[in-house]
Amino acid sequence: MTRVKRGYIARRRRKNSLTRNITQQKIRALVSAHRDRDRQKSDFRRLWITRINAVIPEKEVYYNYSKFIHDLYKRHLLLNHKILAQIAILNRNYIYMIYNEIIKNEDSKEYLEMI
Amino acid sequence: MVTIVIRSKPDRIIPQFYQQKLRLSTLYPSLKLPFELTKMASTTLTCYCSSLCSTLQFLQNQNPISKPLSQPVSRFLSTPISPPILTLQNPSLSQLYAFKKDSQIDDEEGDDSESVDLPDFKRNAFARPKLSDVLPDDIEIPKPGTPEYDDILEKLLPKKSPPPPREEIFAVVMVGSRQYIVIPGRWIYTQRLKEANVNDKIVLNKVLLVGTKTSTYIGKPVVTNAAVHAVVEEQLLDDKVIVFKYKKKKNYRRTKGHRQPITRIKITGITGFEDYPASTLEAETVSS
């Protein structure tokens, strides 16, 4: 006779013992901390990028985060993503001022031609 | 329940929260009570401490069986109180529960010359005491929302001094290959500045952005001649971080602790940016 499945009772009995030893918990905790300290850097960068992207004005020209950063570097601005994201939250007007600075003169012509 | 109220002026009932509770024995050492004052025995002593009056008046016992005192008792009792006056000889619970608001006080006892108007107790013996028990009905307590209520609150609440005035300026500064938003009057943690001692004045030159209320000075890449002045407050070690390397099933574990050396810097001022070309919110027209 083949093995007969005994139903769900045995399974329920086992479900209560989702435990780990203290030593195991400690190991997993420390390993996660170590690993996530490295991930933290990329996590935050992602967050900052989405925040900057959200704030950039898309009114007249087709403009977004990638173009913004490209223009930043073209104009020799050294501000990093963290600062830009913080400014975007706290004093949004300053982002618009930076945007105006960047978009002056020649570069804007190219975008207008693209349309 | 026996409530002992010492009145400084005969017509004034002092609300409970102005009174202090004192142990009877400390006030009147000559007063020898026949029983111990426990909490449940519930003798609330309320004394108006600054001016002890000349008369002690015992208010009516909650127990309907007991009778009110016809004569006030003198302040310093030479003789101990005789038990029949303070009737608390094991009152049975049924008697206490039987108490009703329209109690069976014997008003027909005959008017003594020194009879006292005792206030009605508006609550049950074992109920929580409230202010309304002691306050007379004439008092108007202001309701929340009225200006009188707000006045009282203003007087009672602790007053926080307004925050110190600060220059409304900020700068973005690059220190130790990291950028910080910096405001005069606040401090930041930076990487260890090796030669700086405590209370040294420091000038940070790499200022990438200065923002005031009216305009920004956006540096390309640096705002020329701008400087952020700071004072070194402390050279310390950061909180410990445990570096733990682990490979499963291979018996490999390495533990290491790490404390990064750090400097705390207090920013005192931002200068030198005025000559730099400023930019404002008005968008410049595109030159075609």
CB contact under 8 A, A83 and B209: yes
Residue A2 domain flag: no
Residues above pLDDT 70, as percent of chain B = 55
Residue A14 domain flag: yes
Residue A105 domain flag: yes
pLDDT band per the 50, 70, 90 thresholds, residue A10: confident
Over range A18-28, report the average pLDDT: 88
Residue type, A39: R
Residue A86 domain flag: yes
Is B54's pLDDT higher than 80? no
Residues above pLDDT 90, as percent of chain A = 42
Spatial distance between the Cα atoms of B259 and B257, rounded to a whole number of angstroms: 7
**What pairs with residue B180 in β-bridges?**
B173
Spatial distance between the Cα atoms of A52 and A13, rounded to a whole number of angstroms: 51
Its pTM surpasses 0.95 = no
Over range B180-194, report the average pLDDT: 94
Residue A79 domain flag: yes
pLDDT at B213: 86
CB contact under 8 A, B279 and A101: yes
Over range A49-72, report the average pLDDT: 87
What average pLDDT does chain B have?
Answer: 70
A–B: how many Cβ contacts below 8 A? 70
Query: Around Cβ B158, how many Cβ atoms within 10 Å?
Result: 4
Range of the domain at A70: 8-114
Yes or no: say if A51 and A44 are a contact pair by the CB < 8 Å rule: no
Query: Around Cβ B209, how many Cβ atoms within 10 Å?
Result: 28
**Tokens (6 digits) for A104:** 């002056």
pLDDT at B231: 96
Over range A83-99, report the average pLDDT: 90
B 132-191 → A contacts, CB under 8 A: 172, 174, 179, 181
A 47-66 → B contacts, CB under 8 A: none
Over range B130-143, report the average pLDDT: 77
Nearest CA in chain B to A95: B281
Residue A3 domain flag: no
Q: How many structural domains does chain A have?
A: 1
Over range A64-90, report the average pLDDT: 91
Residue A90 domain flag: yes
For residue range B73-129, what is the model confidence (pLDDT) as tens digits? 444 445 554 444 334 445 555 454 555 444 455 555 555 555 566 666 666 777 787
pLDDT band per the 50, 70, 90 thresholds, residue A104: confident
DSSP per residue, A80-95: -HHHHHHHHHH-HHHH
| More confident position, A83 or B53 | A83
CB contact under 8 A, B209 and A94: yes
Residue type, A26: K
Over range A63-80, report the average pLDDT: 90
CB contact under 8 A, B286 and A27: no
Of A34, A86, A100, the CB nearest to B284: A100
Is B152's pLDDT higher than 60? yes
Half-sphere exposure of residue B287: CA atoms within 13 angstroms, side-chain side: 4
- Nearby residues of A59 by Cβ (< 8 Å), 6 or more positions away: none
Half-sphere exposure of residue A84: CA atoms within 13 angstroms, side-chain side: 28
B186-191: long-range contacts, CB 8 A cutoff, minimum separation 24: B186/B266, B186/B267, B187/B233, B187/B264, B187/B265, B187/B266, B187/B267, B188/B264, B188/B265, B188/B267, B189/B238, B189/B262, B189/B263, B189/B264, B189/B265, B190/B262, B190/B263, B190/B265, B191/B260, B191/B261, B191/B262, B191/B263
Nearest CA in chain A to B281: A97
Q: What is the CATH number of the domain that holds A30?
A: 1.10.1900.20
Is A97's pLDDT higher than 60? yes
Residue A104 domain flag: yes
